């Protein structure tokens, strides 16, 4: 494993400001982990390409460690917390009657505090460090956070040839009983010293709901509206038995890449693409019909803002309306109830709602062309 050690050591020396001794210590621990994985894996041993596997594993661990190092102690912790929160979101439920988005996030934070302690204890054990060891330098903190991520994603064998990620099993256990109180302060531990091309990132429809789909910790007056939209969309998907779409939505809330989503959900790129398209369909139905006022208010695209259209786009929009649709728009702007509008147009309430959906869809398309 001398070749592996030298590779890791050179990468750490070239890409960090850590001391030579610090780089060697971390390189030794990563090398030992790679050696242990290669030795204990039957698949790797049977492949006849142990050296190739060792190189691949070493490269992965170095990149992961350097990523957290470059993020720094604060942002690195934020990224790790976001990733792990996304994985366990649907498996941790607040007590009945308080199942809100914020309540669940608070409970997840409590769970992760205990999980970080478990990960640190296992890190000490697997690297043969003392029971009192804590990361003290930026590089050591990055090493620990990278280990946390790998530890969380470990696959645990289950009956009937199934497996599950370790952190999900821990989350399920946590939801069934009160966890022991324990915490670890990563900021204190750091003292003395851390674009891909998937279609939904560029899709105008998803772009228009970007502020809903990306986690935002700002404590602003609009934050409660955002939480309401998130919870209502989850309830909407649950009512239609679209639990896999909920999983996808929660992961997109954390702005994870498609490869990360595929790994967490255990699906292929083709399955993820199908799930993405199905989620997009339900998202549009939710945004344009189920709770259109709420979503358009969030996007500042409600009737008070001409459905989010510029003056020129608003004129284009109105020019494409039939007399019946123009009357419908005028009545909506005056705040008339749907029953009264339907009577004026000689339509049923359902038919009127469908016509309004078509108007919102037309405005949506015009905005999308502008975004494109």
pLDDT above 80 for 274: yes
Structural domain boundaries enclosing 177: 2-190
Does the pLDDT of residue 305 top 70, yes or no?
Answer: no
| Of the candidates 302, 350, 336, 320, the residue with the CA atom closest to the CA atom of residue 328 | 336
- Residue appearing with tokens 């786009």: 313
pLDDT at 92: 82
Contact 296, 307 (CB under 8 A): yes
- 6, 131: one domain: yes
In a domain, 172, yes or no: yes
Lowest model confidence (mean pLDDT) among 15-24, 62-71, 88-97? 88-97
Per this entry, what is the length of the chain? Answer: 372
Q: Where are the alpha helices (DSSP H) in the chain?
A: 2-15, 20-40, 42-47, 50-88, 101-126, 138-152, 166-176, 186-190, 204-208, 210-213, 223-239, 243-253, 258-265, 269-285, 292-298, 311-319, 323-333, 338-345, 349-371
Give the integer Cα–Cα distance in Å for 349 and 134: 65
In this structure, are 79 and 177 located in the same domain? yes
pLDDT value, residue 27: 95
At 127, is the pLDDT very low, low, confident or very high (cuts 50, 70, 90)?
A: very high
Mean pLDDT on 126-142: 91
Both tokens assigned to 29: 């621990």
In this predicted structure, the answer to whether residue 220 has a pLDDT above a threshold of 60 is: no
pLDDT mean over 193-221: 43
When divided into structural domains, the chain yields a total of 2
User: Where is pLDDT greater, at 204 or 78?
Assistant: 78
pLDDT of residue 255: 67
Q: For the chain, give the mean pLDDT.
A: 77
- Asked whether residue 77 is assigned to any structural domain, the reply reads yes
Q: Where is pLDDT greater, at 163 or 31?
A: 31
Query: Within a domain: residue 195?
Result: no
**Mean pLDDT (whole number) for 57-68:** 93
Q: Look at 160 and 186; give whichever has higher pLDDT.
A: 160
| Least confident segment among 43-47, 118-122, 157-161 | 157-161
Note whether residue 99 is domain-resident: yes
- Res 322: pLDDT: 86
Residue 214 has pLDDT above 50, yes or no: no
Higher confidence at residue 56 or residue 356? Answer: 56
Where is the domain boundary, 168, 190, 212?
A: 190
From 190, 216, 236, the end of a domain falls on 190
**Do residues 295 and 209 make contact, with C-beta atoms less than 8 angstroms apart?**
yes
User: Are 223 and 184 in a shared domain?
Assistant: no
- Give the per-residue pLDDT at 212: 41
Beta partners for residue 157, in sequence order: 163
217, part of any domain: yes
CB 149 within 8 A of CB 83: yes
Does residue 117 share a domain with residue 207?
Answer: no
- Supply the DSSP symbol for 254: B
Residue 60 and residue 160 share a domain: yes
| Pick from 73-82, 128-137, 287-296, 327-336: least confident | 287-296
Sign of the torsion formed by the C-alpha atoms of 347, 349, 350 and 353: positive
The segment with the largest mean pLDDT, out of 1-15, 155-169, 322-336, is 1-15
* Predicted pLDDT at 35: 92
CA distances (Å), 363 to each of 10, 170, 304, 315, in order? 56, 46, 14, 11
Over residues 140-148, the mean pLDDT reads 94
CB 255, CB 227: distance < 8 Å: no
* Boundary residue ending a domain (156, 190, 224): 190
Tokens 């549009």 belong to residue? 284
98 inside domain: yes
Q: Is residue 259 part of a domain?
A: yes
Average pLDDT of the residues in 290-311: 57
46 Cβ contact list (under 8 Å, min separation 6): none
**Domain co-membership, 209 together with 345:** yes
What is the DSSP annotation of 86-99? HHHGGG--PSTT--
Q: How far apart are CA 73 and CA 103, in angstroms?
A: 26
Q: How far apart are CA 174 and CA 56, in angstroms?
A: 34
Position 199 pLDDT exceeds 90: no
**DSSP secondary structure code for residue 214 in this structure:** B
pLDDT digits (tens, 9 = 90+) for 181-197: 333 334 333 333 323 33
213 with 221: CB under 8 angstroms? Answer: no
Question: What's the whole-number mean pLDDT along residues 219-242?
Answer: 69
If residue 163 lies in a helix (H) or strand (E), which one and from where to where? strand 162-165
Of 68-72, 176-180, 271-275, 350-354, the least confident: 176-180
Domain co-membership, 240 together with 326? yes
């Amino acid at each position: 494993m001398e070749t592996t050690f030298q590779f890791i050591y050179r990468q750490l020396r070239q890409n960090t400001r850590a001391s030579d001794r610090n780089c060697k210590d971390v390189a030794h621990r990563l090398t030992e982990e790679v050696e242990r994985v290669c030795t204990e894996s039957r698949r790797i041993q049977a492949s006849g390409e142990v050296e190739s596997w060792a190189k691949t594993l070493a490269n992965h661990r170095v990149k992961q460690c350097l990523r957290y190092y470059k993020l720094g102690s604060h942002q690195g912790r934020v990224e790790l917390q976001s990733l792990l929160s996304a994985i366990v979101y649907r498996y941790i439920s607040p007590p009945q009657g308080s199942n809100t988005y914020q309540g669940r996030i608070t409970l997840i934070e409590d769970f992760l505090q205990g999980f970080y302690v478990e990960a640190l204890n296992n890190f000490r054990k697997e690297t043969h460090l003392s029971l009192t060891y804590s990361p003290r330098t930026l590089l050591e903190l990055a090493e620990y956070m990278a280990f946390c991520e790998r530890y969380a994603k470990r696959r645990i064998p289950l009956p009937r040839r199934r497996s599950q990620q370790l952190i999900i099993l821990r989350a399920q256990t946590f939801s069934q009983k009160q966890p022991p109180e324990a915490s670890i302060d990563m900021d204190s531990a750091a003292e003395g010293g851390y674009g891909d091309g998937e279609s939904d990132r560029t899709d105008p429809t998803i772009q228009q709901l970007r502020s809903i789909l990306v986690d935002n910790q700002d404590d602003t007056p609009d934050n409660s509206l955002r939480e309401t939209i998130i919870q209502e969309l989850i309830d909407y998907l649950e009512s239609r038995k679209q639990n896999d779409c909920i999983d996808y939505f929660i992961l997109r809330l954390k702005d994870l890449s498609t490869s990360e989503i595929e790994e967490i959900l255990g699906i292929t790129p083709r399955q993820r693409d199908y799930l993405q398209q199905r989620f997009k369909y339900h998202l549009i139905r939710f945004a344009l019909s189920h709770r259109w006022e709420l979503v358009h208010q969030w996007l500042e695209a409600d009737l008070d803002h001409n459905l989010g259209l510029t003056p020129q786009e608003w004129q284009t929009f109105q020019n494409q309306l039939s007399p019946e649709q123009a009357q419908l728009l005028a009545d909506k702007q005056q705040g008339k109830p749907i029953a009264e509008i339907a009577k004026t147009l000689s339509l049923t309430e359902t038919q009127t709602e469908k016509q309004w959906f078509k108007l919102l869809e037309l405005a949506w398309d015009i905005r999308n062309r502008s975004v494109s």
